[in-house]
Amino acid sequence: MIADQQSRNSGAALAELNPQQQEAVSAPLDPVLVLAGAGSGKTRVLIHRIAWLMLEKGASPYSVLAVTFTNKAAAEMRARIEHILGMPSTRLWVGTFHGIAHRLLRTHWQDVGLPQAFQIMDSDDQLRFIKRLLKNLGYEDSNWDPKEVRSYINHQKNEVRRPTGTLQSEDPARRQLNEFYRVYQETCDRAGVVDFAELLLRAYELWSDNPEILAHYQQRFKYLLVDEFQDTNTIQYRWMRLLAGQQGIPFVVGDDDQSIYRWRGARIEHIYRFEKDFPRTRIVRLEQNYRSTGTILAAANALIANNQSRMGKNLWTDGKSGAPIRVYSAYNERDEAEFVTSRIRDWEAQGGVRSEVAILYRSNAQSRVFEEYLINARIPYRVYGGLRFFERAEIKDALAYLRLALHRDDDTALDRIINVPTRGIGAKSVDRIREHAKAHSMSLWRAAAELSKNGFAARTANAVRAFLELIRSMGSAIEGLELHEQVDHVIYNSTLLAHYEKDVTEKGEARVENLHELVNAARGFDPGEMEEDLPPLVAFLAHASLESGEGQGAVWEDCVQMMTMHSAKGLEFPLVFMVGMEDGLFPHQRSLQDASGLEEERRLCYVGATRAMQQLYMTHAEQRRLHGTDSYSQPSRFIGEIPDELLEEIRPQIHVSRPVYRPGQGSAGKRAKAAGFGATQQAGYRLGQRVQHGKFGEGVILNFAGQGAQARVQVNFESVGMKELVLAYANLEVL
């Protein structure tokens, strides 16, 4: 009966696919590489392959390992597989490389020499850790940039290099850096902390150093499936090769045109190598795009055709050609945000759903102005990425207490909170603790304990003892409590809550709310299949660290989605705004120096554009204030690479003398268009003009609306912000 039902499911599932997709899904049990453009159904095919393996080939869910790019994608994948199977897919491993590596290390902590309660350091923790260590070793006066040191170490790890293998360098500066890498690693090991890159490296070594463990997993995970294969880095690729061994059956899907993590060590070359490393590989190409309108697809195809290094492919759709791509030239970033907000309002007014709308930008800092406008317009939004919940200072403080309560040798945690809230352990005393720890190769915790017995003046000794006692008593008090009670206990007893409650500013209030929210997060925490056998607190802390690396996993409510183009990979939205389309911002200034950097930016632009299903807007600003400085830039060359006939320029509401982007003329064609008619010309005002108002003081004109006696002007005043005034009564004086 059940078999019958399943076979029907399988048939029905295949019927939802086109012939090429079916070919990939039901390919013989050999390695498969699906190489295809955006929106052609790669992810869909991967999901169906898993279902097909189970339904048609009788594969046990236990034998499947599927790798996705974010935790969110993993959750979606699981849901869709369950939908096809018509039953829960327990024992199926679906996760990110980091999540899977973490799970392996939790199981095999002894085999890789980690303490059972090892903690994960996110990249912000890692940076602090490096800064502290540089200081400790007397490097603070050298011109080492901690961020560069961090990239160096991560890069070595991504390339599967331990310090022992790198110390031999000819170059003395390089040798010194490697020496630092060695000390860094020793210190991490002693503290029982693991950075993100280390998760992968340890998991790799777990297998490469332990043939019997490897054999076990090779036998178990017969089917290895990888989405977004173009963005695997060296260690990930070697790790999957190790697992596949001679018998494994890898199924990978990817698109060379969407490789956007080269800066993090990803290698497109893995696509080329795959065929060589896995003999009998079947390559399947998908060419039909199901996501976007003909116009959006044509624009994306034209754009990416400008890249030299690509495998080349043909992507078509039989869908409608749809609306043109709308280009808006904003005067500045506020005007841009205003425009986007008003279009979102229109979308809602026409019955559109908010969560179908995405605002995509090149850098996280761009989100703030949009947030301001959306708040004013009372449009709920969600920023995906950026300073995420688990990266906020107060949350990290609370988590540090929990980590220390669980694992005393966690130096990063201790360092963070030994004097937060202040308890009379000054910077000098903390320095002494660090020195003592370093001199005796011990953890900060043990150093603090020793010094508190004899080594500190009475007052400091008392303060340190009180701190140690606080952590000890927390450790025992939270034993046996429910997870959310543990968190609740810690935020009260650490006095963090009381500490932030004293701060009556909005910021302080937000922090208090966030701490309460952490208790809620703990209450709603579901460790999921991958981590269900861990103690809840351990799973929760790991979750917090891993989440801070790659975005949140919470359900997307009905709100506008805001994220970088990088984090939009794999997603799709009916309405997409690509904002900040300016040379220098996108393509990013740094990338303009070399051709391959520019090509990576273009791929990113291709990723952004191909997220759109029905309507795509591109906006750019004449003048932009970002990171506190003003810049004037040309529209992105990427807009110029899209054929004119696909674009529609949106004119300002009133034609005034202002520079506008002329499609087809490239960035050089951006010239003032004087279409002088309407009230503003008569009134003698123009956009961007500085004006003085009797009551509000100085400001800049950002927008006009209405005609004649109804003509209104929008001015951003330095002291009071945005105001809309009736032009006839405003009495603005031009400055």
**593 is annotated as an active-site residue:** no
> Is 319 a residue that touches Mg ion (CB under 5 A)?
no
Residue 478's φ and ψ, nearest 5 degrees, are: -85, -10
Cα–Cα distances (Å) from 493 to 444, 514, 541, 590, in that order, read 22, 17, 19, 47
Phi-psi region at 382: left, alpha or beta (left = phi > 0; alpha = psi -120 to 50): beta
Sign, CA torsion 446/447/450/452: negative
Using CA atoms of 401, 407, 408, 413 in order, give the dihedral in degrees to the nearest 10. -40
> Is 39 a residue that touches Mg ion (CB under 5 A)?
no
Closer of 260 and 537 to ligand ATP (Cβ): 260
Tell me which of Mg ion, ligand ATP, none is bound by residue 271, counting a contact when its beta carbon lies within the kind-specific cut-off of 5 to 8 angstroms: none
565 exposure class (CB count in 10 Å sphere: 0-12, 13-18, 19+)? buried
Tell me which of Mg ion, ligand ATP, none is bound by residue 59, counting a contact when its beta carbon lies within the kind-specific cut-off of 5 to 8 angstroms: none
Cα–Cα distances (Å) from 491 to 397, 485, 494, 513, 538, in that order, read 9, 10, 6, 12, 17
Closer of 536 and 608 to Mg ion (Cβ): 608
Q: How far is the CB of 35 from Mg ion (least distance, A)?
A: 13
CA gap 490, 478 in Å, rounded: 8
Closer of 21 and 486 to ligand ATP (Cβ): 21
Tell me which of ligand ATP, Mg ion, none is bound by residue 39, counting a contact when its beta carbon lies within the kind-specific cut-off of 5 to 8 angstroms: ligand ATP
Q: How far is the CB of 64 from ligand ATP (least distance, A)?
A: 18
Name the catalytic one among 20, 42, 310, 488: 42
Candidates 43, 96, 288, 703; binder of Mg ion (CB under 5 A) is 43
Tell me which of ligand ATP, Mg ion, none is bound by residue 17, counting a contact when its beta carbon lies within the kind-specific cut-off of 5 to 8 angstroms: ligand ATP
Residue 722's φ and ψ, nearest 5 degrees, are: -70, 130
Name the catalytic one among 20, 21, 43, 680: 43
Residue 57, both tokens: 């080939």
Beta-bridged to residue 631, according to DSSP, are: 624
**247 is annotated as an active-site residue:** no
385 exposure class (CB count in 10 Å sphere: 0-12, 13-18, 19+)? middle
Q: How far is the CB of 43 from Mg ion (least distance, A)?
A: 3
Closer of 36 and 585 to ligand ATP (Cβ): 36
**269 is annotated as an active-site residue:** no
**611 is annotated as an active-site residue:** yes
Closer of 198 and 228 to Mg ion (Cβ): 228
Closer of 499 and 611 to Mg ion (Cβ): 611
Q: What size, in residues, is the chain?
A: 735
Q: How far is the CB of 227 from Mg ion (least distance, A)?
A: 6
Tell me which of Mg ion, ligand ATP, none is bound by residue 255, counting a contact when its beta carbon lies within the kind-specific cut-off of 5 to 8 angstroms: ligand ATP
Q: How far is the CB of 228 from Mg ion (least distance, A)?
A: 7
For the sheet with 64-68, list strands across it: 93-96, 64-68, 223-226, 249-254, 32-36, 282-286
Closer of 531 and 572 to Mg ion (Cβ): 572
Cβ atoms < 10 Å from Cβ of 596: 13
Chain residues in the site for ligand ATP (CB under 6 A): 16-18, 21, 36, 38-44, 255, 258, 290-291, 570, 572, 610
Name the catalytic one among 78, 238, 611, 662: 611
Name the catalytic one among 122, 195, 198, 228: 228
Q: How far is the CB of 385 from Mg ion (least distance, A)?
A: 18
Closer of 39 and 324 to ligand ATP (Cβ): 39
Beta strands in 150-248, from DSSP E residues, in sequence order:
193-195, 223-226
Q: How far is the CB of 73 from ligand ATP (least distance, A)?
A: 9
Name the catalytic one among 198, 227, 256, 531: 227
CA gap 571, 550 in Å, rounded: 14
> Is 70 a residue that touches Mg ion (CB under 5 A)?
no
> Is 259 a residue that touches Mg ion (CB under 5 A)?
no
Cα–Cα distances (Å) from 282 to 42, 47, 48, 68, 278, in that order, read 15, 18, 17, 21, 10
Tell me which of ligand ATP, Mg ion, none is bound by residue 44, counting a contact when its beta carbon lies within the kind-specific cut-off of 5 to 8 angstroms: ligand ATP
**42 is annotated as an active-site residue:** yes
From 12-20, 89-97, 415-423, 562-570, span contacting Mg ion (CB under 5 A) = 562-570
Q: How far is the CB of 543 from ligand ATP (least distance, A)?
A: 25
User: 617 with 576: CB under 8 angstroms?
Assistant: yes
Tell me which of Mg ion, ligand ATP, none is bound by residue 290, counting a contact when its beta carbon lies within the kind-specific cut-off of 5 to 8 angstroms: ligand ATP
Task: Residue 328: name the closest of 565, 647, 613, 614 by CA.
Answer: 647
CA gap 656, 688 in Å, rounded: 11
Closer of 42 and 620 to Mg ion (Cβ): 42
Q: How far is the CB of 82 from ligand ATP (least distance, A)?
A: 16
> Is 254 a residue that touches Mg ion (CB under 5 A)?
no
Stretch (H or E) spanning 250: strand 249-254
Residue nearest to Mg ion (CB): 43
Closer of 570 and 663 to Mg ion (Cβ): 570
CA gap 621, 633 in Å, rounded: 8
Tell me which of ligand ATP, Mg ion, none is bound by residue 536, counting a contact when its beta carbon lies within the kind-specific cut-off of 5 to 8 angstroms: none
Candidates 570, 635, 640, 652; binder of Mg ion (CB under 5 A) is 570
* Contacts by 583-588, CB closer than 8 A, 24 or more apart: 583/633, 583/634, 583/635, 583/636, 583/637, 583/667, 584/631, 584/633, 584/634, 585/362, 585/363, 585/366, 585/624, 585/626, 585/633, 585/636, 586/362, 586/636, 586/638, 587/636, 587/637, 587/638, 588/362, 588/363
Q: How far is the CB of 313 from ligand ATP (least distance, A)?
A: 12
Task: Residue 59: name the closest of 23, 97, 91 by CA.
Answer: 91
CA gap 582, 589 in Å, rounded: 10
Q: How far is the CB of 617 from Mg ion (least distance, A)?
A: 23
Closer of 322 and 570 to Mg ion (Cβ): 570
**43 is annotated as an active-site residue:** yes
Name the catalytic one among 232, 258, 341, 634: 258
**Longest Cα separation, the chain:** 84
Task: Residue 184: name the closest of 124, 128, 109 by CA.
Answer: 128
Residue 200, both tokens: 């992968």
From 38-46, 74-82, 111-119, 121-129, span contacting Mg ion (CB under 5 A) = 38-46
What are the catalytic residues?
42-43, 227-228, 258, 611
Name the site residues for Mg ion (rule: CB under 5 A).
42-43, 570
